[in-house]
A and B are shown apart, each in its own frame.
Chain A
Amino acid sequence: MEMGSNVQLLIGIFVVAFLLIAFEKWHRTTVSFFSAILVIVLGFLTPEEAWNFIDFNTLGLLLGMMIIVAFFRRTGFFEFVAIKAIRISKGNFFALFFFFFMLTGFVSAFLDNVTTVLIFSPIIILVARMTGISPFPFLVGEIIASNLGGTATLIGDPPNIIIGSAANLSFNDFVVNLTLPVLLVMVITVYFLKFLFKNKYKIDGKFDLSTVKIDERGAIKDRVLLFKTLGVFFFVIVGFILHDRLHLLPSIVALTGAVLLLFVTNYDPEKLLHEVEWTTLFFFGGLFVLVGALEKFHVIENLANLLLRFSRGELGLILVVSLLSFVFTVIMGAIPFVVTMVPILQSIITKTPGIHANALWWTLSLSACFMGNATLIAAAANLVVAGISEKTQDKITFKNYLKYGLLSSIVSFLIALLYIIIRYYVIK
């Protein structure tokens, strides 16, 4: 086979794989893993090359956090916090909406979004049914808050983990550069949603909490485990803050926390490891190999050149990256898009001395994570909440979500773009 036709075949595999991921005919992990094996079998990569393209820092960080989350879920801590929020709201509809929105955003900044919505959504439905209100606006708020909050930190969302690992950005870099705009977007979005919901759903005023008898203390399942988990988690966060100074990879910090918890609790690892989302890890692994093959055959470099030629200038590049995120995150999801974009941006940064590299990384992070809110299929957490909503009378469908999701993601996207331009190009 000629070199040219070789590359065409490789691009063909990549395009077909991403189309299959987008249309979900097969499980995304099956597609990603199959494509990775295919590029090895067809000789595009040797097994050693494929192995080297896998970003084990990303996989280790995800694995470590998944184990820590599995411990958290056994404690009942988040149920405790959620019930506390219900009591603090004192029957004020918007206060409850605001608390849950911010709480979800805060928790998903540290835990993965799917876990966050799996914890809070059933409680939201329970509260809504207990008080005779519709859970719909709360569940939509849950989706949006989880995707926004996850953007705030290195560990909040897989795209950030991939970007942080590839660009060597620390936990603190993410906090310093992203937390403020995310917080701003969250506050604006919560009021924007209030405005969108006000004609169709009750979002203001009071609801009756008098007949509801709940006590958050009953939510704690295991106090000893809670203290151990919170203690280790505290050290993990300190580890993330100091990982740069300690010359430790974030994955090592997370994995240390995970094994420390296994050690101090003496939990059966076999049971606990069943809760790790191995499919997600294999999905990532496959994508890294597939995109690695494109890198080896200079496809990524050519795409980077194309992007540079097309965008004309740094601000143009920021705009192009944002718009690409806008379109492709909605079509294929944030993770495959970011895995592909990372080497492209690395190539652009290498080719363009003096370019504000971090501005590009933050643009990719903010736009890809925020656009996860655009449609019901743009992020995993969205589909999980939609699935949960099927157990209520107010189902979230692709159609009824689109108005709230797309409009709020456009608002957050524009704020992010404005933030990038002002922070990195106007103020410098």
Chain B
Amino acid sequence: MAMPLKVSDLMSYVNPVTSDTPVAKVAEIMKEEFTSIVPVVDESGRIKGVIYAEDLLAPFIPDFFDLIEDFDYVTSFGALDVDVFSDFTYKLFLAEDVMQTKFRYLKPEDSVLKAIFYIVKERRTCLIVVDEKMTYKGIITRLAILKRLYGNGK
């Protein structure tokens, strides 16, 4: 009988950042490490929050957009297109300004089935992994799970 898969079997490591890291640096980590999640930790390595790629994109969306259900009738936003992308003030934001402090996390000993459940249910690309003291341990990505499930067990 095959051993049950644990989160630690598929876990990988992404360099964490601290609260005062500029978001531009966070974006650079995402780009260089091919990740859509960056953990935010304190000096002792305890997790304080997570930043998803969406959290870096969200500030570009004008606040009033959430009042409109869809934009099927718009092809070009005119002056708004120019306004939004010419505003570089977002680059001055720090990690603590955009990080999510309430987030789903897993333990290394958790079953991969639990990871699959949350990834599917919450439509995430990856989840953070911490130990019982909330110390950052790594991440588990849906790609890693996919590779394992559809890659002949490798």
Contact = CB atoms under 8 A, between A and B. Distances in A.
Interface string B46-90: 000000000000000011101111101111111111010000000
Interface in A72-98: 79-80, 83
Contacts of A319: none
Interface in A293-325: none
B78 A208 contact: yes
A130 B79 CA distance: 5
Q: What secondary structure prevails in chain A residues at the interface with B?
A: helix
Interface residues of B, number: 19
Contacts of B67: 118, 121-122, 125, 388, 391
Interface in A82-121: 83, 118, 121
B81 to A, nearest CB: 8
A129 B72 contact: no
Contacts of A388: 64, 67
A37 interface: no
B68 A213 contact: no
B102 to A, nearest CB: 23
Contacts of A212: 76-78
A131 B74 contact: no
Interface stretch (A17-25, A43-51, A215-223, A402-410): A215-223
A126 interface: yes
A129 B61 CA distance: 12
Contact of B68 (A122, A214, A392): A122
A5 interface: no
Nearest to A125: B64
A218 B70 CA distance: 10
Interface string B23-42: 00000000000000000000
Contacts of A132: 78-79, 83
Contacts of B81: 211
A130 B64 contact: no
A129 to B, nearest CB: 5
18 contacts: A79-B73, A122-B64, A126-B68, A129-B83, A130-B79, A131-B79, A211-B79, A212-B77, A212-B78, A213-B75, A214-B73, A214-B75, A218-B74, A219-B73, A221-B69, A388-B67, A392-B63, A392-B64
